[in-house]
Amino acid sequence: MKLWGGRFTKETNQLVHSFNESLSFDRRLYKQDITGSIAHVTMLSKQRILTAEEKDRIIAGLTAILEDLEAGTLEPEAQYEDIHSFIEATLIQRIGDVGKKLHTGRSRNDQVALDMKLYIRDEIPELNRLLLELLEVLEQTMKANTDTYMPGFTHLQKAQPTTLAHHLGAYYEMFSRDLSRLADTHVRLNECPLGAGALAGTTYPLDREYTAELLAFDCPTANSMDSVSDRDYLIELLSGLSIIMMHMSRFSEEIILWNSNEYQFVELDDAYSTGSSIMPQKKNPDIAELVRGKTGRVYGSLMALLTTMKGLPLAYNKDMQEDKEGVFDALDTVIDCLTLFTGMVKTMRFYKDNMEKSAARGFTNATDAADYLVMHGVPFRDAHGIIGQLVLTCLEKEISLDELPLADYQAISPVFQEDIYEAISMKTCVEKRLSYGAPGEYRERLK
């Protein structure tokens, strides 16, 4: 059954049907489609466009279809163009001609817009749950590592000392912002398009405010043409999903580096690693690499929809059918990645001694050594040059500033005294950085 065809004299070519159909992917909208239809006929009855008896029969039929779909005793058939035509045809088969009144006062254009909004609204809580779970894992790891010293980097070069808690805290902030972006997306999508019709509303006395209330929307959409042609909320969602993936990808890149033989900062749990078919010593960070790789996949969905929408005149165009597969795939990908990524982070083992040694051997306390001289009256530019000479001496001797004898310090500047070692210890370097957001202040905040 098609929801159109009265003015056609030929059957659709099978290749055209296959090219045109969306049932193969929009079938996952069945629950939202039925929910929207029940609200629609409830409103039609309230407005006396349908009788109470007609409403009850249609709702009973739709409810039975939903139950059968959920139980797996009913499967959408490939002959149908989309999930909307399948559900309507099944309803008519089951309850007779009264089922033909379901579509009164609406179009597939506002119907599919509604279904997608309901679907995204239903998915956002799951994304929120997974992000909150990741944030909880990060917070627990941070609290356990406020005194785990490590190098902080700029340009991928060791720069200043920090703590693992402070480093992970940067990702905590990123994923927290992701939560707020999803909340913003929910606010803007939560307007009901049902009742907009094909593009210009309808002559039926619909109560769109009532329909919106039944479906827990904040209000009906304000312009019927925009209602059926708006995909901003999907673009905004895909943008938010892309940023989530970007954050996981950045973190994955660091985990991959930290897991390498050169760094040896972390060891990944066997459950989140794989081996090599030829090299028995290998333990590969495949989950981190796949998260990094799948980021491009989600980006692709965002760019595809932006490109699809960039040249479309008002109102609905069939091009918009291309929104679904990319959005569905991006949602599935992000949900899978968040689930696995959180498990990987939760089970990582940190090599704290290696981290601290790396910070010391990387001269991350050089700035603090310069600050020591400044506090003893040496101009900063002179202090900068003195510490540069000391670093060269350490490089020649293959030692850190902590290991350099006091005589070598005093050979370059007599200002140095025995307390230089306390001043440049990792503990001091971190704990004295107490400006808001710095590692020392972060340490106190996490206690």
In this structure, the number of other CB atoms found within 10 A of the CB of residue 147 comes to 15
With a CB cutoff of 8 Å and minimum separation 6, the contacts of 336 are none
pLDDT confidence tier of residue 239, bands split at 50, 70 and 90: very high
Is 305 within 8 Å of 242 (Cβ atoms)?
A: no
Q: Are strands 266-267 and 149-154 parallel, antiparallel or unpaired?
A: unpaired
116 with 180, same domain? yes
pLDDT for res 11: 60
Does residue 6 surpass a pLDDT of 60? no
CATH number at residue 192: 1.20.200.10
Is-catalytic flag, 276?
yes
429 lies in a domain? no
62 with 131, same domain? no
Q: Where are the alpha helices (DSSP H) in 190-231?
A: 208-214, 224-229
Instruction: Give the whole-angstrom CA distance, residue 253 versus residue 241.
Output: 18
Does residue 394 surpass a pLDDT of 70? yes
Q: Write out the residue range of the structural domain in which residue 401 sits.
A: 366-424
CATH number at residue 388: 1.10.40.30
Q: Which of 37, 40, 276, 435 is catalytic?
A: 276
Comparing 103-117, 141-155, 268-282, the range with the smallest average pLDDT is 268-282
Specify the amino acid at residue 240: G
Q: Please count the structural domains in the chain.
A: 3
Give counts: helices (H), strands (E), the chain: 19, 6
Reported pTM? 0.93
Which residue matches tokens 């059957």?
Answer: 11
97 with 131, same domain? no
Which of 169, 142, 176 is CA-nearest to residue 350? 142
In this structure, the number of other CB atoms found within 10 A of the CB of residue 31 comes to 16
Which residue matches tokens 């049932």?
Answer: 23
Q: Which of 18, 84, 155, 273 is catalytic?
A: 155
268 with 344, same domain? yes
3 lies in a domain? no
pLDDT for res 409: 96
Q: What angle do CA 296, 300, 303 make, to 5 degrees?
A: 135
Mean pLDDT computed over 12-37: 90
pLDDT for res 268: 95
Which of 158, 147, 64 is CA-nearest to residue 353? 147
437 lies in a domain? no
250 lies in a domain? yes
C-alpha distances (whole Å) from 316 to each of 23, 86, 130 are 19, 21, 34
CATH number at residue 68: 1.10.275.10
Does residue 8 surpass a pLDDT of 60? no
287 lies in a domain? yes
322 with 235, same domain? yes
Does residue 10 surpass a pLDDT of 60? no
CB burial of residue 77 (10 Å; 0-12, 13-18, 19+): exposed
Does residue 9 surpass a pLDDT of 70? no
Instruction: Give the whole-angstrom CA distance, residue 234 versus residue 79.
Output: 28
pLDDT 10s digits, 395-446: 999 999 999 999 999 999 999 999 999 999 999 999 999 999 999 999 999 9
Does residue 4 surpass a pLDDT of 80? no
96 with 82, same domain? yes
Does residue 281 surpass a pLDDT of 80? no
pLDDT confidence tier of residue 119, bands split at 50, 70 and 90: very high
441 lies in a domain? no
pLDDT 10s digits, 194-221: 999 999 999 999 999 999 999 999 999 9
304 with 178, same domain? yes
341 with 388, same domain? no
